[in-house]
Structure 1
Amino acid sequence: MKRKYNINNLEDLHLQVRLLKSEYTAKGDALAGDSKKYLHQFTLNGFIKKYATPSAFLKIDDKFNISSKVLSMALPLVMNSTFFKGSGLVTKALVGLASGKLGKSLDAEHLSAIFNSVTSWFNKPKKTKEKQALEVDYGIPPDSETY
């Protein structure tokens, strides 16, 4: 894309250089911001915020109560196979009953609240360092006398 500039004197030249520098920085900032937004939507956190919302769970969960049924079956299996691996039959039965009752009481709202609180522990606000803008060379020496 070829641009035509109407430059008649040194003041017009300096004005055009300043305009080009400001346009360059504005486009660079916009591109950096847009690319950060674009890449953020493909992170694990972006997917979870988009699809694992309480409203998405509640639409299905209100009719079928899937989350509590799955948790009432899966939680006793997980607890007995990991934490209480070497315990006896009575302990495993009590853990199975207690975790089954706990699984029935948990629903999609509780699960999303627990997940959000756990992710907030790991997602600390990051300190951003301000980078100094690099001086762009447009090929015109600052002390040139172009009359």
Structure 2
Amino acid sequence: MKRYNINNLEQLHERIVSLKVDYTLKGDYLKNDAKNYVRQFSPGNLIKKYATPSAFLKVDDKFNISSSIMSLVLPVIMNSTLFRGSGFITKALVGLATSKVGKTLDAEHLSGIFNSVKSLFSGAKKKKDKPVGYVDYGIPPDSETY
């Protein structure tokens, strides 16, 4: 337990104020550190961190695991969701087209698409219209021009 050399009421009040300031500063530091820690493990930050070409084992321009996976998975997803009730020929054409598109997609393109979609949703929250308050032009309400 700390002992303080307080001799009068003024010193006591000064010490109380300084302890309150320390308390609020430490609380603010703790809040900021907690926000940074939570932001570090957000889905967007994790994708930025791990969705790199080196993370997807891009050996060279011809062999890319992420584009190979996308060329296999994208036709299955498209045929099972958007083209569910279509015929065999339509599904075959969609499969060919999406497999070609899947080969061109790599980690850089996927992270760019994700960031652009994320910016669409995050940009809408930041824009807030400020309500226009009452503007006083100096004309009294009892005047004839009002």
Q: CA deviation at 1:15?
A: 1.5
Structure 1 counterpart of 2:31? 32
What's the TM-score once normalised by structure 2's chain length? 0.72
User: SS at 1:6's partner residue?
Assistant: coil
Quote the residue 1:61 is aligned against. 58
Counterparts of 1:82-121 in structure 2 under 5 Å? 82-121=81-120
Equivalenced residue count is: 124
Gaps of 5+ in 2: 128-146
The alignment's TM-score, normalised by the length of structure 1, stands at: 0.72
Aligned-pair Cα RMSD in Å: 2.2
Residues in 1 aligned to 2:2 and 2:17: alpha-carbon distance in whole angstroms: 16
- In the TM superposition, what is the alpha-carbon distance from 1:56 to its structure 2 partner? 4.0
Deviation, structure 1 residue 55: 4.9
Aligned partners of 2:126, 2:27: CA distance in 1, in Å? 22
Change (3 A) 1:42 1:106: closer
Identity score, percent: 56
Aligned to 2:49: 50
Distance 1:55 1:19, change over 3 A: farther
Aligned to 1:136: none
* Aligned-residue offset at 1:65: 0.5
Looking at structure 1, the residues matched to 5 and 36 of structure 2 have their Cα atoms a distance apart, in angstroms, of: 38
Letter matched to residue 76 of structure 1: P
Cα distance in 1, alignment partners of residues 80 and 105 from structure 2: 21
SS of the residue 2:58 aligns to: helix
Which of the pair has the greater relative contact order for Cα pairs under 8 Å at 6+ separation?
1
Tell me how far 1:49 sits from its aligned partner: 3.3
What is the aligned partner in structure 2 of residue 123 from structure 1? 122
User: 1:91 Cα deviation (Å)?
Assistant: 1.3
What runs of 5+ residues in structure 1 fail to find an aligned partner? 128-147
Q: What is the alpha-carbon distance in structure 1 between the residues aligned to residue 73 and residue 6 of structure 2? A: 75
Are the counterparts in 1 of residues 48 and 111 from structure 2 also a CA contact under 8 Å? Answer: no
